[in-house]
Structure 1
């Protein structure tokens, strides 16, 4: 490969690398901006729910959950905004280097172009061109000289076009640089406001925690009571799932001691369809924020205590309608002592459970469709809180709803 071809290959490789890097940066920036807007919407929902309940006397346990949740979201917003600002800084530095390089290229190109114009002007006389051709030793040399004159003229035009293109590129990068600097300043200003909000939340949280620590034993007893209540509900749900599995196996003529559902072809198709929608299922309420997530976690008040959550607790608005997240069949509508009603829906060998309802619109055996209203979330008259407890399981094995519900 000659030097000219090698140079062209290197230029092409450099262009491809620059394009890939630019695309990667843009992609990261878009992803961060999407996440930032999601967090802002989440904070808006938290504030709206707070305003809705501000006249109510929430329990201190609930208030701490609220503070912890909002502090977590604010921290995430600050982190994402900082990442955006840092990425823009890198882009600004990259563009400043490009501008410096383009200016150097333009200076060089303009100098070359000016030199060509001078030479062209000196040899502009048509007679001198004819003499240049006529002084050739033979026809072959005359043809080569004619080609040279044409190539020189084409090169002049090409240089002019290159200067024009580089000047346009420089103007575009300059405009982009100004926009990036403006965007960065906006992000920095927004982060200052978020930081103030975070400090205000932390201050209120510290005051509340100080008063709670004075009566930590009383609050620990309340936490343990709530855990026992949650465990009682979970035990009842597991029992109902075992009974549903036993019924399906008995109907299929199989052992009733089996731990998995005996699925019909329609049941297998439904389960497969449910699985294919993992991460894309709709929320069980139109508007809400997750206050307690899935899994074992330290309690926000007494961190030496571990709480186990087999689902999620979603704070929503008053009179919020509960919707089935997927097609299925109601296998149970449960009314337990001192517990608000819950609904269980089977989707093949998957089950979704909707707890803490005030009204139920369905009954056992009903076929339901995706987004069908199945009830209404209970609102605590004293605290003003409207909390839906939602869980997903495959047979008796609990699943993390955040893995299944879209953007949870």
Structure 2
């Protein structure tokens, strides 16, 4: 019996627990849907603003095409979001409809039962006269029981009436909620249809821009070739700076190691000289003592003096413990550089954006060209469209290692963070110089202006030594 009772409790409570869990998950999903909906609407607004800026140009541009494609992608996600919301509303409507049916059935049952009680009481009202019923008892105890019975009967009728009123209120509330959900579904369906209509307009506009851009294939190919040449020059300059830093760190490490070895050798030489001087002094003292006390004829020869013990050699310095957790890197030879590298790595995925407002228009790696899909375009970092002349900020603290002007790429700023380097390309102006120490979020320059697309641009690159990294994996998501 003791084993059966817990099993019965589990079977009894399990449905309620599952309902509560599903309700909590549904509520969380609804909140996530609403949050994502607001984010998508904000991103669509930003894409619209960018599209307005690109349309100020005298002819179609890749920026205009990118903005339209971004709008189409975001609006498609928004439509999916609305459809998921409609599914939730349909579920609520079905649940509310079932509740209404159940409450109506319960209310009918309660009314029927109450009607039977009233009719029965009316038909037997003389028999159930309280005084007659009580005083006709055979004993005092029987009278008390009859009195309690009548009281319980009246309480039961009162509770039945209250249940009818309460059930009626619940039914009215459920009906009102059902109507509210139906109105919400109607509004959501209307919004979904409006978004679909706008999506079709965006697609037609995108196709028109794409067809016009395809008619300028030679111009676009020339632009691709020029951008590739400029990017190669920038990459060569970055690699030169990084290799120079590696070489300087290696020379510094070699010089420090040479100085350390010379100091150790000098220390050993001084210790050897001190040890030899101590031995020689001990031998002289022993010889003088033998000459003063010796008698060649009558006194037997003195015993051979015991050798003077050498002073103990200093214990060798313990070797530093070797760790396999992190491989040695010449760019992390100093404790400060190592700490900066570890701090940079600890902020992976949480680093701030280099601009206050903007969106990525070119992703890291090799990807297809926006117009000519048979051409692949490489990218050493990410290109962010932002306000013209907008402030560009350092995404982490470090030391400025290079500030140069590159043809076609504007100012290029390289900042070192231990073994990591962040590079900011396509800057119109600069506010730092080589050797400056910068803080996270410090303004280092302003974004360049793309005259064709009428927007600002900045390119962010992240390097680990001479290896390129994907900046989108390091900066925080928006």
Normalised by the shorter chain, which TM-score bucket?
A: 0.7 to 0.9
- 2:248 & 2:161 partners in 1: Cα distance? 83
TM-score of the superposed pair, with normalisation by structure 1: 0.80
| Structure 2 unaligned blocks of 5 or more | 258-327
Deviation per CA, 1:187-231, whole angstroms, max 9, x where unpaired?
333333332332222222222332333443443343233234334
- Residue equivalent to 1:222: 223
TM-score, structure 2 normalization:
0.70
The question of whether the paired residues in 2 share the 8 Å contact of 1:328 and 1:368 is answered with yes
C-alpha separation in 2, matches of 1:231 and 1:109: 84
Matched, 1:125 2:130: yes
Correspondent of 1:332 among 402, 425, 428: 402
Q: Where does 1:171-250 land on structure 2 (aligned, <5 Å)? A: 171-250=172-251
Cα distance in 2 for residues equivalent to 1:292 and 1:233: 17
**What secondary structure, in the 3-state scheme, does the structure 1 residue paired with 2:331 have?**
coil
Q: Deviations over 1:134-158 (max 9, x none)?
A: 5869xxxx99x99988988887787
**Number of residue-to-residue matches in the alignment:** 403
What is the alpha-carbon distance in structure 1 between the residues aligned to residue 335 and residue 112 of structure 2?
78
Q: Is the 8 A contact 2:134 2:147 kept in 1?
A: no
Specify whether residues 210 and 369 from structure 1 end up closer, same or farther in structure 2 by C-alpha distance, changes over 3 A only: same
Contact 2:348 2:475 in 1 (8 A): yes
Contact 2:51 2:68 in 1 (8 A): no
Query: How many angstroms apart in 2 are the aligned matches of 1:342 and 1:238?
Result: 13
CA contact (8 A) 2:60 2:212 kept: no
Structure 1 CA distance for aligned equivalents of residues 102 and 161 of structure 2: 18
Larger radius of gyration: 2
1:22 CA drift (Å): 1.6
CA distance in 2, matches of 1:177, 1:221: 62
Equivalences for residues 105-124 of structure 1 within 5 A = 105-109=106-110, 111=112
Structure 2 matches for 1:137-156, cutoff 5 A? none
Segment of structure 1 superposing worse, 64-73 or 261-270:
261-270
CA distance in 1, matches of 2:138, 2:253: 100
**Counterpart in the other structure of 1:291:** 361
Residue 380 of structure 1 corresponds to which residue in structure 2? 450
Query: Comparing 362-371 with 94-103, which one deviates more in the overlay?
Result: 94-103
Q: How far does residue 320 in structure 1 lie from its aligned partner after superposition?
A: 0.9
Q: CA deviation at 1:184?
A: 2.9
Aligned pair in 2 of structure 1 residues 132, 323: CA closer, same or farther (>3 Å)?
farther
RMSD in angstroms over aligned alpha carbons?
4.0
The Cα of 1:104 is off from its aligned counterpart by: 3.2
Question: Residues 107-166 of structure 1, C-alpha deviation per residue, up to 9 Å, x if partnerless?
Answer: 4455556666778897683774687895869xxxx99x9998898888778767766665
In structure 1, stretches of 5+ residues that fail to align are none
Structure 1 residue 356, shift from structure 2 partner: 0.9
